[in-house]
Structure 1
Amino acid sequence: MSSLVDRSRLALTRARARDDGMFLQRLAVDEVQDRLEMVNRTFTKPAVVTGFPEIWGQAFPDAPIVADDEVLALEPGAHDLVIHGLSLHWANDPVGQLVQCHRALVPDGLFVAVMFGGQTLHELRAVLAETEIALRGGLSSRVLPMGEIRELGSLLQRAGYALPVADSAIQTVTYSDALALMHDLRAMGEGNALTDRAGLTGREFFAEAAARYDAAFGNDGRIPATFEMIVLTGWAPHESQQKPLRPGSAAMRLADALGTKETKLPD
């Protein structure tokens, strides 16, 4: 069974990234730092997993930077904080990545990940699909599929994290046209690195896609591009953490708490 992501192609794509395309990486760094400020804890043994070591290394100079390879170079039980920095959406095995980060945590250690979610580039996806159907009568892989927030939250539970939380924020960036957007995606290091990616496409295709994008989404000479930033947090289990009550252990009936009369349903 072939992998969804061509890791060699992804490395080439990231190598072409430029500093002026790193604004979403920097925004992801800010998101993580904001979350850590809300945690009443001092972390002394952090680690960062990312495909963009320079950006994240500047933000967390005391943390070892680990490449987001299929097998992570993380020592089991060595860290009280593991950050997965805006690269989990490229994982062929996201649950495996979460499990490996979990194993690297000490008990009651914190995991924080930022990744792109399912609403990311929904405009571009729709336009490229419409264009390909119109010009070629079929579809091919052009944009990485990304997980929805509910699915991603359940992955934390599958990986064994306690107190899992998933939330998202929408960032809308405007461009002069679709070609400028695609140029910026290359600068971000977020180009097409799918194993089953589409082959070379001529100017006619992209000109048609740009025209359709403007017609469907354009406003005052600009087009919007949506980026959904999903933040996942979870803790390595520890006996001191809050736990849900056992079924049947409530001290008061729900009907009494609500001030209503309990009615027995017919059999």
Structure 2
Amino acid sequence: MATPQVPQIFSPHRRHLARRRADPGEVSYVLDDMVDDVVERLGFIRFEPARPLIVGDRTGRFAATYPGAEAADPTDGFADEQPFAEGAYDFIACLGTLDTVNDLPGALVHLRNALEPGALMIASFVGGGSLRQLRDIMAAADGERTAPRIHPQVDVRAGAELLQRTGFADPVVDSHPLSVRYSSLARLVGDLRAQGLSNVLVDRGPPLGKAALKRARDRFDELSDSEGKLLESFEIITLSGRRPKPRF
């Protein structure tokens, strides 16, 4: 029987380019938040992994905290949707990468299999409650002919179903907001690009013309506060679970 074809929502090539262009030395508050959260969780359970794999931390902050960590990133050839070292790690953190893979269940299965039995995975990414203001702005810009501008995103409920479907033990899904104020639409979009969070859809939609860009800027101004700042929010979704131990 033929293997079902995975829908190609995201462009691997554009995803690779977006991450290569990202500059954590310039802007990294989304990734910083994820790193801080994972380090705090490990501290809370008093666990210091001996053989951790850290995917996506381009700041190097996690490796500085745990010097034995193996770092990986899609821009360095790490393939989220391909099998890798079976049972090789006692902890895996996957930071800001799983929201743009086409086969998310498959990627989670590969992460689970890379853990030794009983070992923990934590995966964080930008989730479904994110960028509501920007969605509004883009809808105003496009008018009646809406175009794909922002990625489809996983919410907490879907995350819980994914962990169960992919065979993790002790599955936990939670989320928290990260709010940021922007002084202009250009700054908001620039920050997204600097963090590798720009549009990497296969069908990215047409570029905004002058009239559409003006509508976008006008809508930004309408949504801004008395100081001319727009409050935007990211929802950080965190999935955690363990590779089941064998039953005898």
* TM-score normalised by structure 1 residue count: 0.82
Partners of 1:112 and 1:234 within 8 A in 2? yes
> Which of the numbers 221, 236, 240 marks the counterpart of 2:243?
236
The number of residue pairs the alignment matches comes to 237
Amino acid in structure 2 at the alignment position of 1:155: L
Equivalent position amino acid for 1:115 in 2: F
Residue number in structure 1 paired with 2:85: 75
**Deviation of residue 180 (structure 1)?**
1.4
Q: 1:100 aligns to what?
A: 110
Taking a change above 3 Å as real, the CA distance of residues 180 and 53 of structure 1, as seen in their structure-2 partners, is closer
Aligned to 1:176: 183
Check 1:56–1:140 CA distance in 2 against 1; reply closer, same or farther (3 A cut). Answer: farther
1:10 aligns with 2:20: no
Q: Structure 2 CA distance, aligned partners of 1:232 and 1:139?
A: 32
Query: Post-superposition shift, 1:47?
Result: 0.7
The higher radius of gyration belongs to 1
How much is the aligned-residue C-alpha RMSD, in angstroms?
A: 2.0
Question: Counterpart in 1 of 2:130?
Answer: 120
Return closer, same or farther for 1:232/1:70 CA change in 2, 3 Å cut-off. closer
Structure 1: 5+ residue stretches without partners: 241-267
Q: CA deviation at 1:59?
A: 4.8
Is contact 2:83-2:110 (8 Å) kept?
no
Output the amino acid matched with 1:45. R
Structure 2, gaps ≥5 residues long: none
- Map of 1:243-254 to 2, 5 A cutoff? none
Q: Secondary structure at the match of 2:140?
A: helix
Cα–Cα, structure 1 residues 80 and 167, in superposed 2: closer, same or farther, change >3 Å? Answer: same
Match status 1:45 vs 2:51:
yes
Query: After the TM superposition, which parts of structure 1 deviate over 4 Å for at least 4 consecutive aligned residues?
Result: 53-60
Asked whether the 8 Å contact 2:51–2:69 carries over to 1, the reply is yes
Task: Supply the AA of the counterpart residue of 1:28.
Answer: M
Deviation at 1:64, TM superposition (A): 1.6
After superposition, give the CA deviation of every residue in 1:47-101 in whole Å (9 maximum; x if it has no partner).
Answer: 1122737455445432222334243463001111011111111111111111001
Counting aligned pairs with the same residue, the percent is 30
- Alpha-carbon distance between aligned partners in 2 of 1:64 and 1:72, rounded to the nearest angstrom: 18
2:17 aligned partner, one-letter code: L
Shift of 1:174: 0.2
Instruction: Give the distance between the partners of 2:63 and 2:217, measured in 1 at CA.
Output: 36
- 2:26 partner SS: helix
SS at match of 2:116: strand
TM-score scaled to structure 2, two decimals?
A: 0.88
2:36 corresponds to which of 21, 30, 34:
30
Q: Does structure 2 retain, via aligned residues, the 8 Å contact 1:172–1:225?
A: yes
User: Cα gap change, 1:53/1:177 in structure 2, threshold over 3 Å: closer, same or farther?
Assistant: closer
Q: 1:239 offset after TM fit, Å? A: 6.6
Letter in 2 for 1:152: G
